[in-house]
Amino acid sequence: MASLWGGRFEKDMDDIVKKYNASIFFDQRMYNEDINGSIAHVTMLGKQGIVSNEEKDQIIAGLEAIRKDIAEGKIVFTVEDEDIHMGIESRLIERIGDVGKKLHTSRSRNDQCQVDTRLYLRKEVYEILNSLCYLESVILEKAEKYADQITVGFTHLQHAQPITIGFVFMAYFQMFKRDIERLSDTLERLNYNPLGACALAGTTMPIDRHLTSELLHFTAPTENAMDAVSDRDYSLEFLSDASISMMHLSRWAEEFAWWNSSEFSYIAIDDSFCTGSSIMPQKKNPDMAELIRGKVGRVYGDLMQLLTVMKGTALAYNKDFQEDKESLFDAIDTWKATIDIFAKMLDKTEFRMDQIEKQLGKGFLNATDIAEHFAKQGIPFREAHSIVGHMVKACENKGCDFEDLTDEDLQAIDKRVTKELLGDISIKTCVNARVSFGGTAPSEVRRQIEVGRQWLNSLER
């Protein structure tokens, strides 16, 4: 098949060069976007009188027939097609003749590939936003269910303070909320129309880029033709969003792996999200959590790959930019699948409160609450902190808990402290008292849930 760009060449490309140069095997997934962009473009050409209405209708009918054939598997692309743009245009010319050659008036593959990618990414962003919103809805349901259930809060992987499980869920809710907000911001910036920027400098033809923007539901045309074809920062921004969100998923997956271990036994993951061992019959491995934890490396790599491609490229278009799609497609596929798998796994995971309750008496979880209680009684907090530290040491020496310390023990630490001054230092009382804004008390967690639900319901799906 003769190349559509080969007029000044005397030799065809070497076969090995054709294969190396071709992007058809990965960019063919954008065939719908390429056809939509072409239809908008030729519609504008017709309105502007650059092609006749009859020619416009012929071209649109030809493109729709090609779309149908691709969808039905009747068209198989090969290395000879080079890319999805050439693959579709060459078949259009084969089907409708010389009229098809007018489609490419006032555009270049430079702006064509950009409009395809922006349209494709926009579609995928909407799907990812929906997936993230579903994940948030699962989190809210779980947070409500476990709003009163107490667990161990950790710092440095050591017992720190008692918290509610609902509080943990709402912490991750906030992370994914920011992921949604970041992705929504990216959507605003990517939704500008490069079509008509041509190779780098626009065109002498009387085109209407505002019309194609309207037809393709872009906010507006890009302001500068050279910028429109030579940057990929919207893809980089998406990959950054994906990397941050995958990091959040990976962190929670890491905790799932801990919580599922025999040492913790905090959760029961549904069998449908676990695997067994080929040699150890007793094993129930949290493989989906571990795989999610590992998948983040792919997306980090996708971001670094495109950053590296873009690093040293002078204005305007460079062939390097063909390397912008595989990493983008990989990140899209990986992020989407990971969100959906994690949301379903989360929905089918239950906490084993009997096992968690065994851990609440370990690690002096109420130490900070006692120090704050002393501060309320007029003891300066730094002194209160020191007193409780000595109480911990006394308990360790005696092999007991705070409640077991006698008045004699307490007086030996500080004359101001008695068992009466200690008051109610039960774990439940401590948790219920943490009603500061954003705190872990069940009442405050329920407020967070309600605010989160209002926010989620306010989003346009």
How far apart CA 180 and CA 126 sit, in angstroms, is 10
Which residues on adjacent β-strands are paired with residue 176? Answer: none
Catalytic residue at 277? yes
Q: Which residue has the tokens 């305007």?
A: 316
The three-class DSSP label of residue 416 is coil
How far apart CA 304 and CA 298 sit, in angstroms, is 10
Q: Is 202 left (phi over 0), alpha (psi -120 to 50) or beta?
A: left
| Torsions phi, psi for 161 (to 5 deg) | -145, 155
- Among residues 313, 113, 109, the alpha carbon closest in space to that of 198 is found at 109
Task: Please say whether the beta carbons of 42 and 60 come within 8 A.
Answer: yes
Q: Which residues of 168-181 are buried (b: 16+ CB within 10 A; e: fewer)?
A: bbbbbbebbbebbe
Q: Is the dihedral of CA 321, 322, 325, 328 positive or negative?
A: negative
Residue 414, number of CB atoms within 10 A of its CB:
18
Residue 97, number of CB atoms within 10 A of its CB:
11
Of 52, 217, 261, 277, catalytic: 277
Of 156, 262, 436, 458, catalytic: 156
- Among residues 423, 372, 374, 328, the alpha carbon closest in space to that of 124 is found at 328
Catalytic residue at 385? no
| Torsions phi, psi for 276 (to 5 deg) | -105, -175
- Among residues 172, 136, 132, 149, the alpha carbon closest in space to that of 350 is found at 149
- Among residues 230, 235, 229, 287, the alpha carbon closest in space to that of 256 is found at 287
How far apart CA 197 and CA 200 sit, in angstroms, is 6
Looking at residue 53, its amino acid is: N
Question: How large is the angle between the packed helices 442-458 and 109-145, nearest 10 degrees?
Answer: 150
Residues known to be catalytic: 156, 277
